[in-house]
Amino acid sequence: MRATRRRRSAGIAVAVALALGLSACAPASVSSVAVPPQADGEIGGDTQAQLTAAVERAMAMTGSAGAIAGVWVPWSGEWVQGFGTNPDGTEVTADDSFKAGPVTRAMTCDVLYGMAADGTVELDDPVTEWIVGFPATPVVTLEQLCDSTSGLGSYQPRLQGRWEANPARPWAPHELLAYGLAASGPTGGTSYVDSDAGYVLLGMALERASSSTAAELFQRYVFEPLGMAGSSLPSRTADIGLHGTQSVLTPEGTPDCATAADLTALSPSAGFTASGVVTTAADLGRYVRALATGLRPFDDDQRFGSPIPVGEGSPTWYTVDGGTYQAGTLIGQYGSIPGYQTVAFADRETGLTVVAVLNNSRASAEAVRVLGWQLAAIASKAPAASGETAPPAGLPWTPEQMDGDLASVAICPLP
């Protein structure tokens, strides 16, 4: 029932594209999209001070020497700032590029939904229709790979040590997939299982179905329509402004918060369509706002219409669907790869948008998720600029609650 409903919505997206005079075979011919109204100027001083303090506290607790954060509040203004320095002593700037990490997964699902709108694939296509040699039973669909309900495991825990020892080594997608399959096999189920291997497999299938590379598909369906000129899906290497690091471990196995290894050279091919995108704060903010507010022809509400719990015991307002997490009215993604923790969320009702990246991956990725939600809670209470009206604040948590959550996953003491 779910897949049938979504196929119908894909057809509606094509009809909308035709009505707008777009090519039905290429939704990405939308050269630009309408951006929600945004108050000019910077967010007010008191709110800005709270945002700055939240980022600096998260940096201290995760051992991050550098960070970038951006907040866009439609009724109040915007704030984008770089923090700290890179290992080579250069100052981090707001315009520096960085690795988007698992936010890439939402973009891979964008490609799936765009290709479904084109009629190139169906959401309920078995992956075996496009990938030879993958187990035929249980049936795993493209939609399940996007929703991360296929049961496939994750390759990152198995490869972490090899990445640290030889970060520049390039990886082929089928190598990554093999390690994910070794972690656990497909179940074709309905429960959420965090799976980087599933998004790699989805990227491989979309390449086969389109006869295009994943980099070309991301350009066509994500970067070009949204004007993300600073974003790409590199193959082997990338020039990155914000260096990624990881605190080394002491002989006792605890993090040494004063010493970090530089992992910037980790090949983007180690992430492929699960975590390989390189971007900027401005681009990522534009992206997640479009994702949450449905700005593109193939951004259909049904993509997020059947959310499932993130895990047993998680709050009812914290769910996952369509390659994204949903937290109250926020939609977005977050996660960690060697060197970086990245978060991007936007409010589907107001357009409020938050982006942050920390350049130390030793702590749990929950640290950057908490930071993103704290920034959103602070920004949601920003006073309205002249001539604007602030909507009621509606997030189910407070900045103070996020302070406590961050302390619970901290690996470094506050100075």
Instruction: With residue 304 as reference, give the H or E element that holds it.
Output: none
| pLDDT (average), residues 407-415 | 91
The token pair at 354 is 């938050």
**210 belongs to a structural domain:** yes
Residue 35 is predicted with a pLDDT of 63
Overall size of the chain counted in residues: 415
Residue 219 is predicted with a pLDDT of 97
What does the DSSP 8-state code read for residue 42?
B
CA distance 214 to 220: 10
- Residue 32 pLDDT level (bands cut at 50, 70, 90): low
Q: Is the pLDDT higher at 271 or at 23?
A: 271
Span 319-346, pLDDT tens digits: 999 999 999 999 999 999 999 999 999 9
**76 belongs to a structural domain:** yes
| pLDDT above 90 (res 33) | no
pTM given for the model? 0.91
If one counts the domains in the chain, the total is: 1
CA distance 354 to 346: 6
| pLDDT above 60 (res 1) | no
Residue 11 is predicted with a pLDDT of 33
Q: Residue 50: give the domain boundaries.
A: 2-27+42-307+327-409
**414 belongs to a structural domain:** no
Span 77-119, pLDDT tens digits: 999 999 999 999 999 999 999 999 999 999 999 999 999 999 9
State percent of the chain over pLDDT 90. 79
Q: Is the pLDDT higher at 33 or at 352?
A: 352
CA distance 129 to 126: 6
**378 belongs to a structural domain:** yes
**320 belongs to a structural domain:** no
CATH number, domain at 222? 3.40.710.10
State percent of the chain over pLDDT 70. 91
CA distance 228 to 230: 6
Phi then psi dihedrals of residue 392, to 5 deg: -65, 140
| pLDDT above 70 (res 27) | no
**174 belongs to a structural domain:** yes
| pLDDT above 90 (res 310) | yes
Provide the 3-class DSSP secondary structure of residue 342: strand
Residue 46 is predicted with a pLDDT of 95
Starting at the edge strand found earlier in the chain, the sheet holding 330-337 runs 77-84, 66-73, 353-358, 340-347, 330-337, 324-327, 318-321, 308-309
**314 belongs to a structural domain:** no
**375 belongs to a structural domain:** yes
CA distance 102 to 151: 18
